[in-house]
Amino acid sequence: MTVRLTIGPLLLCTTILGVAGAVHGVQTDRWSPSPHLSRALDRLPHVPQSVGDWNGVDIPLEANDMSRAGIKGWIFRVYKNSRTREEVSVLLVCGRGGPISVHTPDVCYTGAGYRQKADATIQEMEWAEGVKGTFRVARFGKPGIVPTQLEIYWTWSRDGRTWQAPNAPRLSFAREPALYKMYIIRQFVAGSREENANSCREFLQRALPDFNQVLTASE
């Protein structure tokens, strides 16, 4: 997998919207200390690198780009399944609700020259008995010799336990003192056997119980 291909448009979007994020920060209390946000950020480094057959490798990102968009903490990892050899990229970010609720993949990737293959769908997922959440899912392609496509899942959480993908995330989350947003991305060649794989969903169902346990840990 080419990591920059999968994550590049999100970083470009983050940079472009950084100024808007800074303006929003002046208009809110984002620059003042927030115990709620501090606790949420402290949990990020404990998100496990290995979950079941999936083993993650951290990929560094440019701190200035993330900071300009109001992203206070993040993890970017490529997880590879040791049994199936499938890979997914995971970007988990945290900050105040205003900036974290905007610049979603359907905006960032189309703005970077990708073509969204169809309208994003809402998918419900259950990853533990009685524990459900929703995710927005879309596929993107870019013209080229090799018809590479991306499938992206994205969702938000106020508490690190309940993950939701509302139609208007900014209206739902803008006032939150701390908010997580997660992207799960896989890359495949159109027409290949991998096109119909469920790597993102399978990863989430295995990883979310472990992720949630860390992100909701008591102080």
Quick: pLDDT tens for 37-92: 999 999 999 999 999 999 999 999 888 888 888 899 999 999 999 999 999 999 99
Tell me which of 32 and 82 has the higher pLDDT: 82
Confidence of residue 29 (pLDDT cuts 50, 70, 90): very low
The CA distance from 91 to 74, in Å, is 7
Token readout for 59 is: 């990929």
- The three-state DSSP-derived secondary structure of 89-137 is EEEEEEECHHHHCCCCHHHHHHHCCCEECCCCEEEEEEEECCEEEEEEE
Would the pLDDT of 26 be above 80?
Answer: no
Over residues 28-33, the mean pLDDT reads: 49
Would the pLDDT of 216 be above 80?
Answer: yes
Would the pLDDT of 2 be above 80?
Answer: no
The CA distance from 79 to 205, in Å, is 14
Tell me what pLDDT residue 103 has: 79
Tell me what pLDDT residue 191 has: 78
pLDDT, tens digit (0-9, with 9 covering 90-100), for 140-191: 988 776 778 899 999 999 999 999 999 999 999 999 999 999 999 999 888 7
CB distance 133 to 124 below 8 Å = yes
Tell me what pLDDT residue 12 has: 54
Give the whole-number percent of the chain exceeding pLDDT 70. 83
Tell me what pLDDT residue 59 has: 93
Q: What is the pTM of this model?
A: 0.87
